[in-house]
Amino acid sequence: MPHEAQIVLDEDEEHKLGLHLLRFAEAFEDGCINFSPNVLCEYLYGLAEKFTDFYQECKVVGSPQESSRLLLCEATRVVMRNCLQILGITPLDRI
C-alpha cells in the first residue's frame, strides 16, 4: 500500500498559510454576495504574503517535512490559480 502524505503544520508560518488557505471559500462567497471582486484580490494578496513568509522561513526540499511542505505549496498553487481564473486573469506557469 503506498504511503499517503499529510500536511502537518508545525511551524508558525505553515500554520498561518494553512489557515489562510482555508479561508478561500469564505473570501469567494463574500466577494460574490457583495459583488466585490476586491475581496478576492485582497485575499490573494494576503495569500502571496503568507506563502512568501512560509517559503523564507521553512526549508522545503531536503527537509524532514518535505512531503508535507510540498503539499502545502501545491495547495497554495491551486488556490492562487483558482483566484486568478475567477478574476479573469490567465495564470502563468512560468515567467
Integer Cα distance of 54 and 59 in angstroms: 9
Q: Is residue 6 part of a domain?
A: no
What is the reported pTM?
A: 0.89
The residue length of the chain stands at 95
Identify which of 51, 54, 45, 36 has the alpha carbon closest to the alpha carbon of residue 83: 45
Domains: count for the chain: 1
d(CA 90, CA 6): 30
pLDDT tens across 9-65, in order? 999 999 999 999 999 999 999 999 999 999 999 999 999 999 999 999 999 999 999
Give mean pLDDT, residues 2-13: 83
Q: What is the dihedral of CA 36, 43, 6, 2, to 10 degrees?
A: 60
Check which CATH number belongs to the domain holding 60 and give it: 1.10.730.10
pLDDT given at position 3: 58
CB 4 within 8 A of CB 51: no
Does some domain include residue 64?
yes
Predicted confidence at residue 1, as pLDDT, reads: 39
Establish if 71 belongs to a structural domain.
yes
Is 94 inside any structural domain? no
Residue 63 is part of which domain span? 12-86
- The whole-number pLDDT of residue 90 equals 94
